[in-house]
Amino acid sequence: MSTLVDIRALLVHRDRRPVLKIDHLAIEKGRVLTLVGPNGAGKTTLLLVLARLLKPEHGEIFFDNKPWNSIPELDYRRHIGLVMQDSLLLNCSVFENVAIGLRYRHFPKDEVTRRTDKWLERLGISRLRQRSASQLSGGEARRVALARALALQPDLLLLDEPFSALDRSSRQNLQDDLKTILAGAKITTVFSTHSETDVQRLSDRRIELDMGKLAVYD
Amino acid sequence: MLFNNPDLWEITLLSIKVSGLATLISMLIGLPFGTLLALNKFPGRSVLLTLANTGMALPPVVVGLAVAMSLWRSGPLGGLHLIYTPAAIIIAQVIIAAPVVTGLTAAALQALDPRLRLQLLGLGASRMQMVLSIWREARLQLLAALMAGFGSVISEVGASMMVGGNIRHQTRVLTTAIVLESNKGEFTSAIGLGILLLLITFLINFALTWIQQRGANR
């Protein structure tokens, strides 16, 4: 299987302190990689580096066999879709939230509507289309955040603890839906979690981070 | 009696024009500068934030004195021949209102979840698109900043008096006219002008509040 992201000798500092050190990590195309580890292990840091929102101190990263630095930052960020913890929706309607990334890319209006409606439907939230994001439950908000990233049809989907703080049934339903979507669309995905159940249900490969280093690499 | 005064509409119109323009210019300065202070970390940022916050409490009469000294014929900007013109009042009022808009803009944007910026960038926003999105997100507070800026200049008298000179048909505005009428012992007229000033302030703030609350209910 070909590699989408190849990370070599990565070192990330925060407040002049090393927080992430990875000698080598390859993320294969179309597969789902899980990052597990305790709080402060470096999971979110790695996701932010992969989203190119955090600059590493040094290291080589290749995206689709191209050196990272050769791809303009905005072009690169438009290959990815990021879902951060806590959903972080904008104070507008569900439709506008899901459409925002498409609008950033200046998609034609019809295409924005078509894609947004498609992903609202696939995530089972079409009925919430006109509802204000501030009136959503935690589970609904998480689905909107996922639809917002998936509507971009990203080459690399980055999910930071996408099921945290959800009740058991919402968690299970969302896992099932996401599993179907990721299997169908073959989107390369990296997600962080504390839960081994998430790993078992969704993951093709699992890596464990501890104190900013790869502890276990399945 | 008050409304029979032929100067009244001229004074009222000049007040709205001068303070409206000063607020607009203050917004053009304060919005980007407040955003810069809120979103970026750079050496001297705390000092600039403190200066903006201190500027929010600038005594108008001190601003008037400084601007008058600069614009007097013997002053460094005397060659511009702006002293005792509406332009001089606008300059003084911009110095009063710009720190208010800057400080409140910075506070409004700092109150947003800092991860929201990363989330928007992670959805493919350019820096400018990210800034426009967070302005939209903080629109209620930004409108409040605009209202505070307008309030600080429509009601000030010290600066307008010092740099405008309260010249009939040229630089007389509502606040300086109130002072003049009071000094002449024409208290009925002064009270009438005061009520008119309050009414204008109310109507403008009513319009802005209506826009603000319309945004809040979306």
Hey, where are the domains in chain A?
Answer: 92-153
Which pLDDT does position A130 carry in this prediction? 96
Tell me which of A143 and B6 has the higher pLDDT.
A143
Check: CB of residue B192 under 8 Å from CB of residue B2. yes
Which pLDDT does position A168 carry in this prediction? 85
Complex ipTM value:
0.94
- Test the B interface: residue of A14, A75, A76, A88 with most B CBs within 10 Å: A88
Integer Cα distance of A160 and A42 in angstroms = 11
Q: Is A183 on the interface with B (CB under 8 A)?
A: no
- Give me the mean pLDDT over the B105-134 stretch: 97
Nearest residue to A161 via CA among A86, A52, A102:
A86
Which pLDDT does position B216 carry in this prediction? 64
**What one-letter code names the amino acid at A87?**
S
pTM comes to 0.89
Tokens of A36: 């597990």
- Give me the mean pLDDT over the B162-174 stretch: 95
The CATH class for the domain spanning B2-216 reads mainly alpha
Give the pLDDT band (50/70/90) at residue A17: confident
Residue B173, φ and ψ in degrees, nearest 5: -115, 175
Ramachandran area for residue B196 (φ above 0: left; ψ -120 to 50: alpha; else beta): alpha
| Average per-residue pLDDT for chain A | 93
Which pLDDT does position A169 carry in this prediction? 86
Which pLDDT does position B213 carry in this prediction? 80
Nearest residue to B52 via CA among B103, B90, B1:
B103
Which pLDDT does position A196 carry in this prediction? 87
- The residues pairing with A190 across neighbouring beta strands, listed in sequence order, are A33, A158
Largest CA distance in chain A: 48
Which pLDDT does position A188 carry in this prediction? 96
Distance from CA of A40 to the nearest CA of B (A): 17
Q: What confidence tens digit (pLDDT) does each residue in B43-78 have?
A: 999 999 999 999 999 999 999 999 999 999 999 999
- The residues pairing with A24 across neighbouring beta strands, listed in sequence order, are A8
Nearest by CB to A104, from B118, B129, B137: name it. B129
Integer Cα distance of B15 and B11 in angstroms = 6
Length of chain A: 218
Per-residue pLDDT at A217 exceeds 90: no
Which pLDDT does position B217 carry in this prediction? 57
Residues of B at the A interface (Cβ-Cβ below 8 Å)?
A: 113, 115-116, 118-126, 129, 133, 136-137, 218
Q: Is A158 on the interface with B (CB under 8 A)?
A: yes
User: Do the strands A32-36 and A188-193 form a parallel or antiparallel pair, or are they unpaired?
Assistant: parallel
Tokens of A139: 């589970």
Which pLDDT does position A129 carry in this prediction? 96
Integer Cα distance of B16 and B154 in angstroms = 8
Give the pLDDT band (50/70/90) at residue A195: confident
Contacts of A130 in chain B (CB under 8 A): none
Q: Identify the three-state secondary structure at position B18.
A: helix
Residue A93, φ and ψ in degrees, nearest 5: -70, 165
Cβ separation B118–A84 shorter than 8 A? yes
Integer Cα distance of A133 and A92 in angstroms = 6
Sheet strands (E) in chain A: 3-14, 17-28, 32-36, 58-63, 66-67, 80-83, 156-160, 188-193, 205-210, 213-217
Q: Identify the three-state secondary structure at position B206.
A: helix
3-state SS track over A148-190: HHHCCCCCEEEEECCCCCCCHHHHHHHHHHHHHHHHHHCCEEE
Per-residue pLDDT at B140 exceeds 60: yes
Per-residue pLDDT at B85 exceeds 60: yes
Contacts of A84 in chain B (CB under 8 A): 115, 118-119, 122
Domain boundaries, chain B: 2-216
